[in-house]
Amino acid sequence: MQAKSAHDTVVIGGGALGLLSALVLARTGVRVVLLEREVVGAESSWAGGGIVSPLYPWRYSPAVTALAHWSQDFYPRLAEQLLEQTQIDPEVYVTGLYWLDLDDGAEALAWAQREGRALQSVDIAAVQRAVPALAAGFGRALQMADVANVRNPRLVKALRAALQQMPNVTVHEQCAVSGFIRDGGRITGVQTAQGDVHADQVVLAAGAWSGELMKTLGIELPVVPVKGQMILYKCAEGFLPAMVLAKGRYAIPRRDGHILIGSTLEHAGFDKTTTEEALASLKASAVELLPALADAEMVGHWAGLRPGSPEGIPYIGPVPGYEGLWLNCGHYRNGLVLAPASCQLLADLMLGREPIVDPAPYAPAGRLTSVG
């Protein structure tokens, strides 16, 4: 890699947030180089479930809600754009989502009325008819019929393919960033084992690793890894026609009959090993939701690291005192949900355009502290 590079922007991180940040910027003519420490799309973006909604949207702040609503409305168009450009279908699959036996159902319905979202109470007998595989014994249900899930490994594959087609984008994998290049109060690039990469702007979108990189500047960014384990079953197509969620665990159907069950929440640093304890717990949840899974073939068990942040509110915007450095990280459990809006907002701010939502809640200013 050359020491000097004619790049407008360096994006650190090749997950959904980094890939889509690069794509949105590149579509405006910006010259982008994306640096990924391992392989593009292989961390949290690959490991997640891909529900295009926060698990319990009414429990989040208006800041998360604003990004979620914009993204949910945009996802079908994003999938169409990527399919047309790359011939890779991210499979945005509208199945709807049932929440079963919630303790805060009244709050959920009040939130939906306030926000104009189509969440409704459904008779449990109607749910059983719609989802015959569902276990008996549930008493109450809420449904949002328009919730989709995206097949996240295919989404990141499509994003990568889209970037590869663009002459103003360069992607470097196996290229870990170790620090930032400073010129007075300005960030002018990044340091890597393959050499320095210079640019006018640097975007940090490194997921759970973002906090570690900010420490090299003496800044405490409260983004920490939170491990999540999931399991995957292969069933017949149509076995599960809708997503179901109870007791914090969910089942997500893919079009081809694969069923995802997730997920754990573990604070174990950067350890991504799977455990027998989590496997047993996830299998128990699977059978509790869908008894027929006791006899189904389990075809996968993995772990990913979410970028945990206070209240799950991401950091999007410029870093005060470090001109040229931008954040797009800390999305916790909602990276895939919030990605389209987050990346559009970032681009709006970087290019001086009217932002799609009020950027104030996500601004790094006032939310960062010095290490020490």
Return the residue matching tokens 């000097």: 4
Residue 208 CA: distances (Å) to CA of 122, 181, 222, 321? 38, 21, 10, 23
Tell me if 266 sits within 8 A of 228, measured CB to CB: yes
How far is Cα 47 from Cα 50, in angstroms, rounded to an integer? Answer: 9
Residue 145 CA: distances (Å) to CA of 20, 95, 97, 112, 241? 27, 7, 6, 13, 11
How far is Cα 68 from Cα 78, in angstroms, rounded to an integer? Answer: 14
CB atoms < 10 A from the CB of 105, how many? 16
One digit per residue, the tens of pLDDT, for the chain of length 372 reads: 444 445 799 999 999 999 999 999 999 999 999 999 999 999 999 999 999 999 999 999 999 999 999 999 999 999 999 999 999 999 999 999 999 999 999 999 999 999 999 999 999 999 999 999 999 999 999 999 999 999 999 999 999 999 999 999 999 999 999 999 999 999 999 999 899 999 999 999 999 999 999 999 999 999 999 999 999 999 999 999 999 999 999 999 999 999 999 999 999 999 999 999 999 999 999 999 999 999 999 999 999 999 999 999 999 999 999 999 999 999 999 999 999 999 999 999 999 999 999 999 999 999 999 886
For 7-46+155-223+311-370, CATH gives 3.50.50.60
Provide the pLDDT for residue 372. 67
Q: Residue 312 has which token pair?
A: 């799950």
Compute the CA torsion angle 82, 86, 89, 92 (nearest 10 deg). -10
Considering only CA atoms, which of 205, 282, 183 is closest in space to residue 25?
205
3-class SS of residue 350: helix
3-class SS of residue 146: coil
Tell me if 350 sits within 8 A of 326, measured CB to CB: yes
3-class SS of residue 35: strand
Considering only CA atoms, which of 26, 14, 5, 7 is closest in space to residue 346?
26
Q: What is the DSSP string of 54-87?
A: -SSGGGS-HHHHHHHHHHHHHHHHHHHHHHHHHS
Provide the pLDDT for residue 3. 42
Q: Can you give the pTM of this predicted structure?
A: 0.96
How far is Cα 158 from Cα 28, in angstroms, rounded to an integer? Answer: 19
Chain Cα centroid distance, residue 351:
23
Provide the pLDDT for residue 371. 83
Provide the pLDDT for residue 2. 41
The answer to whether the bond into 263 is cis (omega within 30° of 0) is yes
Provide the pLDDT for residue 97. 98
Strand arrangement of the beta sheet that strand 119-122 belongs to:
119-122, 141-144, 97-100, 243-246, 249-253, 258-262, 224-234, 297-308
E strand or H helix that includes residue 192: strand 186-192
How far is Cα 245 from Cα 297, in angstroms, rounded to an integer? Answer: 21
Chain Cα centroid distance, residue 258:
20
Question: β-pairing, 224-234 with 297-308?
Answer: antiparallel
Q: Residue 75 has which token pair?
A: 């996802």
Q: What is the DSSP string of 274-328?
A: --HHHHHHHHHHHHHH-GGGGGSEEEEEEEEEEEE-GGG--EEEEPTTSBTEEEE
